[in-house]
């Protein structure tokens, strides 16, 4: 007779197959789809999501998980099995907390809001988006109530992206980080170290070869993944044996493709490093968005923007791109690490980036609390931008309308970017204590760092929360100090 755990394994495998088919369709949508195919693709995606949701939230699954939890409590399962069962039970409870009517209402509201956002941004007209955003805010408040929470309602939304994180923890970190970053930006910009810009026209074919080589050098396994082109780079995994990353190119700017490829390679390495034999189980899934982002930021910033990396890369670049012949390391480091008071989050440098995030976090909290009204958002946004980043947006399209997240109903998502940046600095500082990273990176050797991340982070799946895992690896829970030390040291040396 089949054990309950075997029955669960079969059901989970089926869910993983449904989920991965949805991911294949999603990848194809962003990489290959002709515009007229959009409508059917959206229907295919929501059909599959519906099938998966129904299977997972059905009574059968509830009964099976309840029975297995009793087995786990009685000590009849292995440690890994018990962990999978308990996490799946939590997922099940979360998924069944939202009534179908609510899920459908939110799905319809976000699809309308997304269209309205595209139009509003194009027309630079916030009023087109305002009523939709008001509806989304109302839905997010209801969603928080349906999930339930302790303390701040924002805590309920945070759990969707960063399990275990709270407003209290975020506030205590951001209160240290924001003034530090503001002062550092002021100082670096006032200091205004000069460089001679390396300019040119970099043929796309050669760039393609280069970024693929770099991704492979960092350890991305091209027999278990692909690199393609999409306007907004992303990573999606069908399984650890088939991970898709994308990038985009600019003829004028070599860093444009290179940094985004390194970033997505970091995400891809995490997905390729998850245990393949746990496909669909919590132990086979990434821990949180914040921890995922820590992997991309670690490779993009701590490796890919470091002097050691460029010490190794510049001579290689000069072979393919004559513009780089004779370029001095210091000059190029200043170009690659320039700090600017800029309007657009996704184009921001390492110092100002997290100010853009803290601004969004504070606005989201204020909106949920009812202290900020949606109609006042453009004004609130602009004045906070002036206060935090030191620049006022020229248009709402370059201000409050720039990000897609709110139109998708994703409140509570933004902080994971900064959490990722903080975790990355903590992890890299620890790896630097255990490995001769400066020497290795300068020699183009990335194997040890990749294996270290595999061992300390990737292979654990969702065994620990991100905060717990980082504490286990570095000895300290969420702590902005290593990030502050790293940025300080970097910009003093530039």
Question: Given the rule CB under 5 A, which of 73-81, 195-203, 248-256, 295-303 is the region that contacts Zn ion?
Answer: 295-303
Shortest separation between residue 297's beta carbon and Zn ion, angstroms: 7
Shortest separation between residue 200's beta carbon and Zn ion, angstroms: 28
Query: Which of residues 172 and 346 has its CB atom nearest to Zn ion in the complex?
Result: 346
Extract the tokens encoding 177: 């980080």
Question: Given the rule CB under 5 A, which of 35-43, 290-298, 321-329, 384-392 is the region that contacts Zn ion?
Answer: 290-298
Question: Given the rule CB under 5 A, which of 84-92, 141-149, 210-218, 292-300 is the region that contacts Zn ion?
Answer: 292-300
Shortest separation between residue 235's beta carbon and Zn ion, angstroms: 7
Query: Which of residues 182 and 296 has its CB atom nearest to Zn ion in the complex?
Result: 296
Position with the least CB separation from Zn ion = 296
Q: How far apart are CA 333 and CA 443, in angstroms?
A: 17
* Side-chain-facing half-sphere of 400: CA atoms under 13 Å: 23
Q: Quick one: which of 155, 159, 295, 296 contacts Zn ion (CB under 5 A)?
A: 296
Shortest separation between residue 296's beta carbon and Zn ion, angstroms: 4
Q: How far apart are CA 432 and CA 441, in angstroms?
A: 11
Active-site annotation, residues: 264
Q: How far apart are CA 382 and CA 468, in angstroms?
A: 37
Query: Which of residues 296 and 407 has its CB atom nearest to Zn ion in the complex?
Result: 296
Asked if 259 is part of the footprint of Zn ion (rule: CB under 5 A), the reply reads no
Q: How far apart are CA 171 and CA 471, in angstroms?
A: 19
Query: Which of residues 265 and 296 has its CB atom nearest to Zn ion in the complex?
Result: 296
Contact 339, 391 (CB under 8 A): no
Pairing of strands 242-247, 235-239: antiparallel
Closest CA to 229 of 214, 244, 251: 244
Asked if 421 is part of the footprint of Zn ion (rule: CB under 5 A), the reply reads no
Q: How far apart are CA 272 and CA 224, in angstroms?
A: 8
Buried-state track 126-165, b at ≥16 Cβ within 10 A, e below 16 = bebbbebbebbbebbbebbeebebeebbbbbbbbebbbbb
Interacting residues of 148 by C-beta distance below 8 A, sequence separation 6+? 97, 156
Site size for Zn ion (CB under 5 A)? 1
Query: Which of residues 377 and 469 has its CB atom nearest to Zn ion in the complex?
Result: 469
Shortest separation between residue 263's beta carbon and Zn ion, angstroms: 6
Shortest separation between residue 344's beta carbon and Zn ion, angstroms: 16
* Angle between helix 481-493 and 415-434 (nearest 10): 70
Query: Which of residues 296 and 301 has its CB atom nearest to Zn ion in the complex?
Result: 296
**Residues binding Zn ion (CB under 5 A):** 296
């Amino acid at each position: 007779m089949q054990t309950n755990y075997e029955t669960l394994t079969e059901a989970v495998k089926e869910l993983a197959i449904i989920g991965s088919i949805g991911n294949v369709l999603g990848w194809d949508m962003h990489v290959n789809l002709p515009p007229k195919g959009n409508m059917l693709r959206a229907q295919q995606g929501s059909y599959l999501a519906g099938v998966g949701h129904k299977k997972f939230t059905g009574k059968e699954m509830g009964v099976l998980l309840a029975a297995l939890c009793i087995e786990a409590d009685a000590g009849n399962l292995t440690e890994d099995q018990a962990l999978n069962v308990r996490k799946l039970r939590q997922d099940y409870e979360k998924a069944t907390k939202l009534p179908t009517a609510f899920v459908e209402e939110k799905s319809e509201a976000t699809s309308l809001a997304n269209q309205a956002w595209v139009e509003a941004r194009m027309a630079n007209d916030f009023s087109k988006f305002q009523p939709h955003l008001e509806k989304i805010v109302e839905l997010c408040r209801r969603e928080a109530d349906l999930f339930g929470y302790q303390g701040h309602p924002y805590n309920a939304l945070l759990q969707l992206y960063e399990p275990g994180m709270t407003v209290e923890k975020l506030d205590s970190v951001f209160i240290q980080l924001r003034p530090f970053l503001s002062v550092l930006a002021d100082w670096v910009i006032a200091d205004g170290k000069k460089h001679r810009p390396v300019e040119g026209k970099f043929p796309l074919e050669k760039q393609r070869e280069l970024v693929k080589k770099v991704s492979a050098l960092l350890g991305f396994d091209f027999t278990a993944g692909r690199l393609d082109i999409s306007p907004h780079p992303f990573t999606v995994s069908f399984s650890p044996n088939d991970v898709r990353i994308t990038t985009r190119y600019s003829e004028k700017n070599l860093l444009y493709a290179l940094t985004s490829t390194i970033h997505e390679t970091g995400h891809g390495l995490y997905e390729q490093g998850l245990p393949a034999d746990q496909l669909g189980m919590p132990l086979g899934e990434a821990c949180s968005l914040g921890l995922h982002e820590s992997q991309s930021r670690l490779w993009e910033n701590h490796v890919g923007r470091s002097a050691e990396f460029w010490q190794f890369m510049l001579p290689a670049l000069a072979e393919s791109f004559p513009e780089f012949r004779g370029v001095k390391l210091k000059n190029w480091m200043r170009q690659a690490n320039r700090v600017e008071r800029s309007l657009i989050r996704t184009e921001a440098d390492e110092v100002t980036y997290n100010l853009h995030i803290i601004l969004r976090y504070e606005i989201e909290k204020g909106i949920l609390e009812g202290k900020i009204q949606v109609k006042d958002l453009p004004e609130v946004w602009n004045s906070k931008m002036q206060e935090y980043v030191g620049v006022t947006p020229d248009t709402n399209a370059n201000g409050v309308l720039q990000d897609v997240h709110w139109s998708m109903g994703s409140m509570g998502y933004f902080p994971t970017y900064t959490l990722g940046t903080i975790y990355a600095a903590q992890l890299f500082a620890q790896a630097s204590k255990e490995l001769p990273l400066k020497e290795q990176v300068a020699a183009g050797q990335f194997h040890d760092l990749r294996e270290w991340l595999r061992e300390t982070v990737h292979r654990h799946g969702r065994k620990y929360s991100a905060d717990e895992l980082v504490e286990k690896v570095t000895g300290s829970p969420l702590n902005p100090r290593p990030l502050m030390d790293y940025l300080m040291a970097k910009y003093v040396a530039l």
